[in-house]
Structure 1
Amino acid sequence: NGRTDALADEVGRQALRCIRCSACLNVCPVYERAGGHAYGSVYPGPIGAILTPQLRGTASEVDASLPYASSLCGACYDVCPVAIDIPEVLVHLREKVAEEGGKGHRLEKAAIKASTWVLDHPGVLGAGERIASATRKLHPRKLPGPGARQWTESRDLPDMPAEPFRDWWKKNRT
């Protein structure tokens, strides 16, 4: 079930020491906000973010994204009773995903490029914010696509504000 491969990985093998106490889950700021099972792993929390990609591999886009579901704050390592250095393993797994070319990263690169262009043009950004607020009743409650759909199956998207922050700020700043 993938444990032999995990054991062969000198950095990743420490995940096999986990006693499933959930201490890492209880202190993780990312999982406090997102929920432990939000990323399609049987193992919740930070331990799942390192154990699942090792056991199942990073062939799926969801499994390849798990090592990135962390702020690397180290709170999980501080509370782990068996001293699993989860941030170290996360960085190690991120390196592996990057070396493999990162599954589905062509779309991510396009999104980053488009976001960069929009953020470099404040007028376009402002217009987009106003359009998003004006059409907020039309926005779906669940996102399309395999990764986004899986994420929104377990939670609702937050409501879009009635007006963009920039417009609110212009009206309300003192």
Structure 2
Amino acid sequence: MTNRPQAFELQIHRICELLEGSGAHVSWNEHIADPDNPERKRQIDIAIRRDDKLTLVECRLHRVRQDVKWIEELMGRRISLRADGVIAVSSSGFTHGATNKAQRFGVILRDLQQLTDAEILNWGRAVALTVYFYQYDDLELSLLFNKDSIPQLNVEKLKIELKNYRGNQSLFIMPLRSNWAR
């Protein structure tokens, strides 16, 4: 027979197993070797493995909202075990301070009372971004004018027009669009 905290962990484990259809391996009560002390195993409530990424899920079945101290412990555990992410699941919610700390350091909070199906499906899911950086040095812009219009050209007005012309942005966005088409 399981006690209440274990039953809570198993309930969260069952929820996490919804991820298995997306290629995730979900395990309950896993023991992971500590990279700094390999002979010592660290107990993890739930481990989610997907695409060589490890997400730790820690559960708390308490009557009071969880505070900053627990969030800081989870931050340390994520760093120590070299996990890619950590999710804190509480049956009673989180204090304002815990929410702020978690948001600042990327600890995902799940309040079981406010959990939606969409949130569950995203647990432990990583997002990959590709960032393109373009740097322009000594940019030269060539303008072509009809030969007859050059004597009538007001250079100062032209400078103002070029500075405020919305089309200038498209010159710099163009390389991005060509990468989007790939």
Give TM-score scaled by structure 1 length: 0.24
Between structures 1 and 2, the one with greater strand share: 2
Larger Rg: 2
Give TM-score scaled by structure 2 length: 0.23
Between structures 1 and 2, the one with greater helix share: 1
Greater RCO structure (CA 8 Å; 6+ sep): 1
